[in-house]
C-alpha cells in the first residue's frame, strides 16, 4: 500500500513542479478596469425614479412620506452584466435612515452609497401668528411667534400635521379649534409603531411686520415679509437716495398665513434699492439690495463658425475664438459627416444661423442614428460610437427667459431604442431647453448605455429650468420665449446650460431621419410682465 502511494506522488510530481513554478511567475497582465454600475433601483412607495450618479457611485431613492424608511423594500435591482453584489438587495427590508453601502465586484470592487430621501409635510398654524411656524423635525419642536401681549390661553389652532399622512396619531389629539399654549404643550406623535415626543410653545415678538429678505436679480427683486396672519401684507420700494416710496401692486403679493412675498419688476440693473414690508399702517425694517447686471449669450446669433478641414468638422465659434458652444460633430465626423452646420437661411435673410438635422451615421448599414444638437459646453471625447460631453458654461446671473427664433421640420421616427419602440412612425419632436445649475464643474454627459448619464431637469442641482417642444413642420421661422421656472429665488447659479436638438430622445439614438431644426438670435429676457 505504501509503494502505491509513493508511485502516485511521483506521477503527480511534474504537475506539482509546474504549479510551483507558475506561482513564482509574475502576472504582468492587469485585469481590465471596468466600473460596475447600478443601472436600476426601484423601491416600494417611491414617488419618482431613483437618481443614479455613476460618477459619484451613489443612488438617491425618493420615498413617499407614508413609507417606513427604516424598513424599505426594493422590488428591482439592476447592474452592469456580471457584477456581483455583496448581498441581495431584493431580500428583506433595509434601513435608509442612514446611507447604505453596497459593494459591486468584477475584477475590482466598487463601493456604492444608497441614500433615502423622504420629505414629510408638517405644519402647525395659529390664528394671528406672526410669520411662519418653525418646525424642527430633529429636535421635535414647534415654535409659534405671536404679537406681544397675546392671551396664550385663548388661541385658535387653524391647521396641524406633525407626521406622515393617514398613519399618524397624536396624544392629545390636536384638531382645529381652541388651543391653550400658556405652557409648552407636549404631544406624542406616533407612526409605524414608533412614538416621538414633540413640544409646542410660543415666543413673543414686538415686530408686527418685518421684511425677512430680498433677492436681487438683474431687473427684478423678490421680497419676503411677515405679519400677523389676520393682516394683509405688502411691500414698498425706492431707489437708494430717493425720498418717495412706491407701493408694489397687491396683485403681485402672495400671502400664506403670516408670511407673504412679491416680485418687484421693471428695475434698473446694477442699481441699489431699498425694500420694506408693510401691513396696514405698520412699516417693516428696510432691506438694501443691489441688482445684478445683464449679459449677452456669446455667439447667440450663430454668426461665428470655423471649419477644421483637417478633421472635417464644423465648430460654432470663430477659429481661435471663445469656444462657448459645441455640437456632436466630433462624433459624426468619424463617419465623415456633420449634422450641425452654418446656414444663410435666417429670420431676416441676412447673416448666419445654425442648421441641425437628424440622420443615420454609418457605413453599409452599420452605425446609429445621430440627432443634431448644439449646446453650451464641450464635446469631450468619443467613446466608441458614443459621446462624452461636458455640459455647461460658468454663469451667475438670473435671467427670466430665453428668447430666439426657430424653424422645425419633423419626420417620422424610424430609429428607436428598445424602450422607445412604441414611438416608431410618430412625428419626431425638437427640444430646446435652458437650465441654471449650481454644479461645481461642468456636468459630464455619457450616451453609452453601459454607463449612461444624461441631463436631469429634476436634479436637486437645477435652480431654474424651461423648455420648448414642437413636433410639427413650420413654413417659416417663429419667435419663441421660454420662461425660466425658478425653484428658489435666493440660490445663485454657477453654470448655464442651453441645448437645442432636432430629436427629443436623441440621447437614446431615437428619432426621425430628416428632422431639421434652424436656430438663430438667442438672447435673454431679464424682466417680468
The distance of Cα 410 from the centroid of its chain, to the nearest Å, equals 28
Q: What top-level class would CATH report for the domain 38-118?
A: mainly beta
Kindly give, in sequence order, each residue whose CB lies less than 8 Å from that of residue 221, ignoring residues fewer than 6 positions away.
214, 215, 237, 263, 264, 267, 273, 275, 289, 291
pLDDT at 447: 85
Cα three-residue angle 449-454-457, rounded to 5 degrees: 150
Contact (CB, 8 A) for 411 and 514: yes
Radius of gyration of the chain (CA): 31
Please state the rounded mean pLDDT for residues 171-196: 97
Contact (CB, 8 A) for 358 and 415: no
Please state the rounded mean pLDDT for residues 259-274: 98
Give yes or no on whether 123-205 and 210-290 have one common fold.
yes
Contact (CB, 8 A) for 389 and 375: yes
**Distance separating alpha carbons of residues 337 and 317, to the nearest angstrom:** 18
Contact (CB, 8 A) for 466 and 433: yes
Phi, psi of 219 (to 5 degrees): -125, 10
**Distance separating alpha carbons of residues 63 and 220, to the nearest angstrom:** 36
Helix (H) or strand (E) holding 516: strand 516-525
The distance of Cα 11 from the centroid of its chain, to the nearest Å, equals 68
The distance of Cα 419 from the centroid of its chain, to the nearest Å, equals 23
Contact (CB, 8 A) for 504 and 410: no
pLDDT value at 15 more than 90: no
pLDDT, tens digit (0-9, with 9 covering 90-100), for 288-339 = 999 999 999 999 999 999 999 999 999 999 999 999 999 999 988 877 889 9
pLDDT, tens digit (0-9, with 9 covering 90-100), for 460-473 = 999 999 999 999 99
Domain residue limits, the chain: 38-118, 123-205, 210-290, 306-525
Q: Which of the 8 DSSP states describes residue 453?
A: B
The reported pTM is 0.77
**Distance separating alpha carbons of residues 258 and 84, to the nearest angstrom:** 54
Residue in the block written with cell 420629505: 119
**Distance separating alpha carbons of residues 50 and 117, to the nearest angstrom:** 10
C-alpha cell at 135: 418646525
Q: Categorise residue 266: left if φ over 0, alpha if ψ from -120 to 50, beta otherwise.
A: left
Please state the rounded mean pLDDT for residues 444-460: 88
C-alpha cell at 4: 502505491
pLDDT, tens digit (0-9, with 9 covering 90-100), for 391-439 = 999 999 999 999 999 999 999 999 998 889 999 999 999 999 999 999 9
- CATH topology for 123-205 is Immunoglobulin-like (2.60.40)
pLDDT at 25: 45
**The CATH number, out of the four listed (3.40.50.720, 2.40.50.140, 3.30.360.10, 2.60.40.10), of the domain defined by the range 210-290:** 2.60.40.10
pLDDT, tens digit (0-9, with 9 covering 90-100), for 486-505 = 999 999 999 999 999 999 99
The distance of Cα 189 from the centroid of its chain, to the nearest Å, equals 33
pLDDT value at 105 more than 60: yes
pLDDT at 205: 87
**Distance separating alpha carbons of residues 225 and 283, to the nearest angstrom:** 11
Q: Which of the 8 DSSP states describes residue 87?
A: S
pLDDT value at 384 more than 80: no
Q: Helix, strand or coil for residue 164?
A: coil
**Distance separating alpha carbons of residues 133 and 140, to the nearest angstrom:** 13
**Distance separating alpha carbons of residues 413 and 428, to the nearest angstrom:** 6
- CATH topology for 306-525 is Jelly Rolls (2.60.120)
C-alpha cell at 384: 466608441
Amino acid at each position: 500500500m505504501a509503494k502505491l502511494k509513493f508511485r502516485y506522488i511521483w506521477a503527480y510530481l511534474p504537475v506539482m513542479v509546474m504549479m510551483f513554478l507558475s506561482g513564482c511567475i509574475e502576472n504582468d497582465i492587469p485585469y481590465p478596469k471596468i466600473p460596475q454600475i447600478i443601472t436600476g433601483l426601484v423601491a416600494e412607495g417611491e414617488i419618482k425614479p431613483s437618481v443614479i450618479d455613476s460618477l459619484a457611485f451613489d443612488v438617491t431613492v425618493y420615498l413617499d412620506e407614508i413609507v417606513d424608511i427604516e424598513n424599505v423594500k426594493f422590488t428591482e435591482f439592476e447592474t452592469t452584466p456580471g457584477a456581483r453584489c455583496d448581498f441581495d438587495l431584493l431580500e428583506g427590508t433595509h434601513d435608509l435612515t442612514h446611507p447604505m453601502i453596497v459593494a459591486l465586484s468584477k475584477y475590482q470592487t466598487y463601493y456604492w452609497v444608497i441614500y433615502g430621501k423622504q420629505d414629510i409635510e408638517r405644519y402647525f398654524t395659529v390664528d394671528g401668528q406672526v410669520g411662519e411656524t418653525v418646525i424642527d423635525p430633529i429636535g421635535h419642536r414647534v415654535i409659534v411667534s405671536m404679537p406681544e401681549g397675546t392671551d396664550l390661553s385663548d388661541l385658535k389652532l387653524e391647521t396641524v400635521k406633525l407626521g406622515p399622512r393617514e398613519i399618524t396619531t397624536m396624544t392629545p389629539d390636536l384638531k382645529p379649534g381652541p388651543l391653550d399654549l400658556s405652557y409648552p404643550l407636549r404631544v406624542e406623535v406616533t407612526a409605524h409603531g414608533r412614538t416621538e415626543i414633540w413640544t409646542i410653545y410660543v415666543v413673543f415678538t414686538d415686530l408686527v411686520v418685518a421684511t425677512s429678505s430680498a433677492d436681487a436679480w438683474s431687473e427684478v427683486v423678490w421680497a419676503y415679509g411677515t405679519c400677523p396672519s389676520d393682516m394683509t401684507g405688502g411691500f414698498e420700494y425706492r431707489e437708494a437716495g430717493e425720498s418717495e416710496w412706491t407701493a408694489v401692486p397687491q396683485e403681485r403679493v402672495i400671502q400664506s398665513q403670516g408670511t407673504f412675498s412679491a416680485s418687484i419688476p421693471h428695475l434698473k440693473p446694477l442699481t441699489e434699492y431699498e425694500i420694506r414690508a408693510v401691513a396696514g399702517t405698520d412699516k417693516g425694517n428696510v432691506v438694501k439690495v443691489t441688482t445684478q447686471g445683464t449679459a449677452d449669450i456669446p455667439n447667440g446669433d450663430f454668426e461665428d463658425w470655423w471649419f477644421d478641414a483637417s478633421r472635417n468638422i464644423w465648430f460654432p465659434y470663430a477659429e481661435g475664438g471663445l469656444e462657448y458652444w459645441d455640437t456632436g460633430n466630433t462624433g459624426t465626423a468619424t463617419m465623415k459627416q456633420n449634422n450641425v452646420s452654418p446656414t444663410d437661411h435666417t429670420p431676416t435673410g441676412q447673416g448666419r444661423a445654425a442648421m441641425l438635422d437628424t440622420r443615420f451615421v454609418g457605413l453599409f448599414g452599420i452605425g446609429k442614428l445621430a440627432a443634431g444638437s448644439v449646446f453650451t459646453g464641450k464635446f469631450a471625447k468619443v467613446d466608441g460610437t458614443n459621446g462624452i460631453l461636458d455640459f455647461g458654461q460658468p454663469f451667475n446671473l438670473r435671467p427670466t427667459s430665453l428668447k430666439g427664433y426657430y424653424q422645425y421640420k419633423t419626420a417620422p421616427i424610424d430609429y428607436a431604442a428598445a424602450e422607445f419602440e412604441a414611438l416608431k412612425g410618430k412625428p419626431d419632436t425638437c427640444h430646446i431647453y435652458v437650465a441654471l445649475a449650481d454644479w461645481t464643474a461642468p456636468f459630464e454627459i455619457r450616451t453609452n448605455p453601459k454607463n449612461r448619464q444624461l441631463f436631469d431637469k429634476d436634479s436637486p442641482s437645477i435652480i431654474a429650468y424651461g423648455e420648448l417642444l414642437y413636433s410639427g413642420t413650420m413654413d417659416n421661422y417663429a419667435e419663441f420665449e421660454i420662461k425660466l421656472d425658478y425653484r428658489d429665488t435666493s440660490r445663485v447659479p454657477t453654470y448655464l446650460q442651453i441645448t437645442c436638438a432636432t430629436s427629443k430622445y436623441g440621447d437614446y439614438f431615437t428619432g426621425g431621419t430628416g428632422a431639421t431644426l434652424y436656430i438663430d438670435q438667442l438672447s435673454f429676457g431679464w424682466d417680468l410682465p
